[in-house]
Every structure is written in C-alpha cells, then in structure tokens.
Amino acid sequence: MSDHPRITLDSLHHAERERLNAIRVRAEVALAKRYPQLKPITVRHILNDELLSDPRVFHHVVSGSDLEIRADDEKAISALVSDLVTGSEVAQRNIAFASAELRAKLEQDFYASLNTGEALRLERAGELQQRRDTFVEEGLNRA
C-alpha cells in the first residue's frame, strides 16, 4: 500500500468531481476500444483505483489545468489508458490470461478443422506443429 493518503470522491468538490468524471468516461471508452479483452472487474480497478493516482489526471482534476490532459483529447486519453494498463499488474495479468485463453481456443479450433487422420499424417511429416503455430498466430493477429 502507498504512503500517500487515498483520495476519494468524497474529498473532491463538485467541479473536481465533474473533471474526474469527464476523464473517467473517456478513459472507459478508450479502455473498451484498445483493450477489449480486459474483464469488467479489471476495468473498474483501473478507473476507480489507478486513474486518480496518475499525476496528469490528479493535476487536471485538482487545478483544472488542461496542459497535460483534456477529456476531449482522444490521443492524450489513449496514451493515459496505455500507461495505466502497462503500469497495472492486475491489467497485465488479465491480458496474459486472455491471451492464453484465446491461444488455447485457437489450438482447439485448429485440431477440430483437421480431417480424420490428417493430424497424424502432418505429425509424421513433421509439419503439424508449424501449421498449428501459423494458424494460432494468424488468429491472434486477427483478434
């Protein structure tokens, strides 16, 4: 836990809450666009626990300054979201799990797409693993 006291919504006055809410709404949209694999609980964690901890957001909320971030600046919000996800251990674990889940499903789909005996023929020819990996990588790139 941090040495700094946690800032809560109750400790913010009306204008600060409005500024925070504007950033939060835009950040939630950016998270959904950029990281659709994040589970809702992870998104809530980022928006509720990590957003206001970011110095750019804190400065904007408290001072009203829009030098570093503005709610209507899509690039700045996207960069903020990227930084928050990159810096969040919870988000990184969620992304890794989602990737592993998708990889397992794609492998299962690959084997299901093979005709009877085809897997054995490819294995004997030494091509099964390479074909499976190519199928999975193409699926991951589409996702």
pLDDT tens per residue across all 143 residues of the chain: 455 556 666 788 899 999 999 999 999 999 999 999 899 999 999 999 899 889 999 999 999 888 889 889 999 999 999 999 999 999 999 988 988 888 899 999 999 999 888 988 999 999 999 999 999 888 877 76
> Helix 89-113 and helix 74-87: axis angle, to 10°?
90
**Domain boundaries defined on the chain:** 9-87, 96-142
Instruction: State the pLDDT at residue 142.
Output: 78
Instruction: State the pLDDT at residue 1.
Output: 44
**What burial class does residue 72 get, using C-beta atoms within 10 Å of its C-beta: 0-12 exposed, 13-18 middle, 19+ buried?**
exposed
3 state DSSP class of 117 = coil
Instruction: State the pLDDT at residue 12.
Output: 85
Instruction: State the pLDDT at residue 5.
Output: 52
Instruction: State the pLDDT at residue 125.
Output: 92
